[in-house]
């Protein structure tokens, strides 16, 4: 798989058509999960997808929009406009050496700016195809439900904890607090998470297991690869038809 362990000469020879970029975060994850949880997940998910696609695996971004966790120790964040510029620069630098299809896999739920940044890249650079994998695809739709608290958790709950138990179990601590605030997720636009949940959790991590994490990861990779292939094929068709009719 083309990745950052290759030399420049090797990458030039491989001429990957697609690059896969994960976007993670470094932020508090309650008492039981490491602050790098989102980055670890985005790294592993993007690596597996890149491997399946024969794409260039770009090292995942560890920082993104985590300001709502700001006062809690370990949180490092970028402003929305900074994140947009970073993604823009990375995509355009890939295009400089011939990679014109980029898959962005968002590993952090608060990164609303990614959709705006990717839309602007596609409209400003019609020779590029940059896609953002939707959250529903990353959840791995289809089949039997995996998580008991699906739809209720937001942060450091059953699904994230299960994922870390599978990917990074040695760094998951035993102390877990279940807490689902009596307000909607939109309250993260109004207040820090420490005001909403003193434990920094929004979900039920006590229900997490490594087996659930493994099952979800396999489903996510399959769903993401199928989605990416379908979207790029449709974009090739749409843009090809437009050039033909021009």
- The 10 Å CB-count burial string (b at 16+, else e) for 90-109 is bbeebbeeebebbbbbbbbb
Q: Which two tokens stand for residue 195?
A: 């005001």
- End-to-end CA distance of the chain: give it in Å, rounded: 37
Residue with tokens 């994850």: 29
How far is the C-alpha of 246 from the C-alpha of 244, rounded, in Å?
A: 6
- pLDDT band (50, 70, 90) for residue 138: low
Residue with tokens 């379908």: 230
How far is the C-alpha of 183 from the C-alpha of 167, rounded, in Å?
A: 31
For the residues of 15-64, what is the DSSP string, one character each?
--SEEEEEE--B--BTTTB-TTHHHHHHHHHHHHHHHHHT-EEEEEE--B
Q: What is the pLDDT of residue 142?
A: 62
- pLDDT surpassing 80 at residue 241: no
How far is the C-alpha of 91 from the C-alpha of 103, rounded, in Å?
A: 10
Q: What is the pLDDT of residue 240?
A: 75
- For 46-50, 80-84, 142-146, 191-195, which range has the lowest pLDDT when averaged over its residues? 142-146
Residue range 45-64, pLDDT digits in tens: 999 999 999 999 999 999 99
In sequence order, the 6+-apart residues with CB closer than 8 A to the CB of 1 are 47, 50, 51, 54, 55, 57
Q: What is the pLDDT of residue 181?
A: 97
Q: What is the pLDDT of residue 235?
A: 95
Q: Which two tokens stand for residue 59?
A: 């090292």
How far is the C-alpha of 217 from the C-alpha of 194, rounded, in Å?
A: 29
192 neighbors 198 (Cβ within 8 angstroms) = no
How far is the C-alpha of 19 from the C-alpha of 95, rounded, in Å?
A: 10
- pLDDT surpassing 60 at residue 246: no
Residue range 171-227, pLDDT digits in tens: 999 999 999 999 999 999 999 999 999 999 999 999 999 999 999 999 999 999 999
């Amino acid at each position: 798989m083309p990745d950052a362990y290759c030399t420049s000469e090797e990458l030039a020879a491989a001429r990957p058509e697609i690059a896969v970029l994960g976007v993670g975060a470094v932020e508090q994850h309650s008492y039981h999960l490491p602050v790098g949880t989102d980055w670890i997940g985005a790294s592993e998910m993007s690596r597996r997808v890149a491997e399946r696609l024969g794409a260039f695996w770009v090292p995942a971004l560890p920082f993104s929009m985590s300001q709502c966790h700001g006062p809690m120790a370990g949180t490092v964040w970028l402003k929305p406009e900074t994140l947009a510029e970073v993604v823009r620069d990375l995509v355009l630098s890939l295009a400089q050496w011939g990679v014109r299809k980029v898959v962005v896999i968002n590993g952090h739920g608060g990164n609303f700016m990614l959709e705006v940044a990717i839309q602007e890249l596609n409209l400003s650079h019609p020779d590029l195809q940059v896609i953002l994998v939707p959250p529903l695809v990353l959840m791995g739709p289809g089949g039997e439900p995996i998580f008991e608290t699906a739809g209720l958790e937001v942060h450091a709950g059953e699904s994230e904890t299960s994922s870390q138990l599978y990917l990074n179990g040695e760094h998951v601590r035993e102390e877990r607090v279940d807490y689902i605030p009596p307000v909607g997720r939109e309250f993260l636009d109004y207040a820090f998470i420490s005001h909403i949940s003193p434990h920094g959790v929004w979900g039920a991590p006590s229900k997490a297991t490594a087996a659930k994490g493994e099952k979800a990861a396999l489903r996510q990779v399959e769903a993401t690869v199928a989605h990416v292939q379908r979207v790029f094929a449709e974009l090739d068709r749409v843009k090809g038809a437009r050039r033909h009719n021009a």
